Amino acid sequence: MTKEKTILVTGGNRGIGLASAQLLADQGHRVAVTSRNPESFDDRILSIACDQTDSDAVEAAFEAIESELGSVEVLIANAGITRDQLLLRMSD
């Protein structure tokens, strides 16, 4: 990416999501992360509490990001775990 973009990384508080967010911030992008347990780990990254299963929380997160950083241009959908690893059992 050559132009600075506003990027949202869901599940960005650890692992691949955190590494992606930090790399994108290093490249000069405006980065926000959402997670159920947000931490302020990097001044360059906006961290927002958001339960991805709650549509009202997702809407509020997008509003907060747009207010702070502008409209989200890139979404990295990294959030999600399953305890039994069976995708077929998931409802939504």
Q: Where are the domains of the chain?
A: 6-89
The pTM (predicted TM-score) of the whole model is: 0.83
Contact 3, 74 (CB under 8 A): no
80 pLDDT tier (thresholds 50, 70, 90): confident
Helix (H) or strand (E) holding 19: helix 15-26
- Average the pLDDT over 3-13 and give the result: 93
pLDDT digits (tens, 9 = 90+) for 36-71: 887 767 889 999 999 988 999 999 999 999 999 999
- Average the pLDDT over 66-89 and give the result: 82
CATH of 6-89, picked from 3.40.50.720, 3.40.50.2300, 3.50.50.60, 3.40.50.1820, is 3.40.50.720
